[in-house]
Amino acid sequence: MSTATPANLLEFDLDGLAAFCERLGEKRFRATQLFRWIHQRGADDFGQMSDLAKSLRGKLEGCATVRALPVVAQHMSQDGTIKWLFDVGAGDAVEAVFIPEDDRGTLCISSQAGCAVGCRFCSTGHQGFSRNLTTGEILAQLWFAEHFLRRHLGTAERVVSNVVMMGMGEPLQNYAALVPALRVMLDDHGYGLSRRRVTVSTSGVVPMIDRLAQDCPVALAVSLHAPGDALRDKLVPLNRKYPLDELMAACQRYLAHAPRDFITFEYCMLDGVNDQPEHARELIALVERHRTQGVWCKFNLIPFNPFPASGLKRSGAPQVAAFARLLADAGIVTTVRKTRGDDIDAACGQLAGDVKDRTRVAQRIALQRQVPLQPAGGLAAGG
C-alpha cells in the first residue's frame, strides 16, 4: 500500500484535475464530473459522488482527498458580516470575511499568512510575513464559505456572487498559487463567477500586473493611498521599487485586457496625512497626466480603521466628504466605502485580529484541535 500523502483536489484547476485523472487512467469528462461535485456541490466524500464510476471512486479513496482548512473561530457582526479564522498550520492562521448586501454577497479572501509589503496603515502588515498560501488554501476559503452559507441560509442557490482578493497578503506576490485559484472561481464547472465580479487588489507589483493581464484578467483594484511618490514611499514601501508613474502606466496597459474599462484606486483616508485639498488636487493631476480615455479610473475612499501601532487617525467625515467632492467636481467617479464588520475587526486593514499575536494564535489553534468548532449547521458564538 502506498504511503504517499493523498493529493488535495482543492489544489487543482480543471486542467490540473484532468491531468491528475489521466494519471489514474481516466478521461477528462470524469475530471469535469469530479470538479463539479467538489466546487458546485461542496462534496468532500467520494462515496457521495453517485455518477462517478465505482472504480474511479475506489481509486480516489486511495490517493486523493478534499481537504478544507480547520476553522479556529467564527464571528458575526451586527451588520451581518461574518469573519472566519482558518488554521494553515505551524501556528499560522488567515482570515476571510463575507459581506452580505441586498444585491450581492462578497467574500474577501486571503492569499498569504501575513504580508511582506508593510503598509503603514494596515494592521496585517504589522504582523509581518510568514508564508504564501497554496492554491488549495486560497480556494478552501471560498469552498468553505460558499457551502457553509448555503446550509446556514437554507438555499441551494449560489450565495457568494463576488470575490475580492483583499484579505491578508499581497496576491501578486503569490502569483503561482493565485492564478489557478482564479481560474477555478471563473470556471463554469466551478463557481462560474464573472471576471467583472472577481477582483485582485494589489499595492502595485508592476511586472505581475502585466502578467495577470495576459494570464487571467479580472477586475483590478490598486491600493494607492497617496498622490505623489514622496508620501507614498512612506505609506506603501513597495512604491520605492515601483513608483507612481510606472504603476499608472501598468494600469493603462491592463485596461486593454480587463473586463472593466476602469481601474479602481483604493485610498485610505488618514487625518492630516493624505486628506487635505492639496492632496486631492495632486490626485486629479495624476489622473489627468495618465489619462488616455474618458473615465479610466474610479476612486474608493476608505475610512481608516485605527490600531495602536499605526500612530494614525481616521479622517473626519466632513474632511472625507470635502475630499470626495473635489475629485467628483473634476469628473472623477468617487465613492466613500461604508465600513462593515469593524465590531469584529473584519473591516479594511484590520485582518490580523488575534493573528497579530502569533503565540495567541498557536494557543487558539491547539485549543480548537482539542475542542472542535460547532458543525456548520449553526454559527459559533461571536466575540
| pLDDT, tens only, 11-30 | 999 999 999 999 999 999 99
pLDDT level of residue 345 (50, 70, 90 thresholds): low
Asked if 269 contacts 303 with a C-beta cutoff of 8 angstroms, the reply is yes
Contacts 24+ apart (CB under 8 A), 180-185: 180/11, 180/12, 180/13, 180/16, 180/135, 181/13, 181/135, 181/138, 181/139, 182/216, 182/218, 183/13, 183/14, 183/216, 184/13, 184/14, 184/39, 184/139, 185/139, 185/142
* Band of residue 378 on the pLDDT scale cut at 50, 70, 90: very low
> What is the reported pLDDT for 303?
94
Give residue 4's pLDDT band: very low, low, confident or very high (50, 70, 90). Answer: confident
pLDDT at 353 over 60: no
Mean pLDDT of the 182-198 span = 98
Is the pLDDT reported for residue 31 higher than 90? yes
Mean of pLDDT values over 36-55: 96
What is residue 1's predicted lDDT score, i.e. its pLDDT?
41
Helices (H), 73-187: 123-127, 135-153, 175-186
Q: How confident is the model at residue 365 (pLDDT cuts 50, 70, 90)?
A: low
Location of each CATH 3.20.20.70 domain in the chain: 71-359
Q: How far apart, in whole angstroms, are the C-alpha atoms of residue 364 and residue 14? A: 35
The Cβ of residue 206 has, within 10 Å, a number of other Cβ atoms equal to: 20
Give catalytic residue positions: 95, 348
- Parallel, antiparallel, or unpaired: how do β-strands 71-76 and 82-89 relate? antiparallel
The residue behind cell 489544489 is 11
- pLDDT at 12 (0 to 100): 98
Q: What is the mean pLDDT of the chain?
A: 90
162 has a pLDDT exceeding 80: yes
In CATH, what number does 7-65 get? 1.10.150.530
CATH level 2 (architecture), domain 71-359? Alpha-Beta Barrel (3.20)
Q: What is the pLDDT of residue 379?
A: 28
| CB half-sphere exposure, 92, CA atoms < 13 A | 22
Distance, in Å, from the CA atom of 205 to the CA atom of 43, rounded to the nearest integer, reads: 36
Supply the pTM of this predicted model: 0.90
Q: Which residues lie below 8 Å from residue 291, measured CB to CB, with a gap of 6+?
A: none
Between 221 and 340, whose confidence is greater? 221
pLDDT digits (tens, 9 = 90+) for 92-133: 999 999 999 999 999 999 999 999 999 999 988 888 999 999
Contacts of 244 (CB under 8 A, 6+ apart): 228, 229, 232, 286
How big is the chain, counted in residues?
A: 383
**Is the pLDDT reported for residue 364 higher than 60?**
no
Give the pLDDT confidence score for residue 338 in this predicted structure.
Answer: 83
| Residue 241 or 377, more confident | 241
pLDDT value for 354? 47
Q: Are 270 and 323 in contact (CB under 8 A)?
A: no
Question: 302-344, pLDDT tens digit by residue?
Answer: 999 888 888 999 999 999 999 999 999 999 999 999 876 566 5
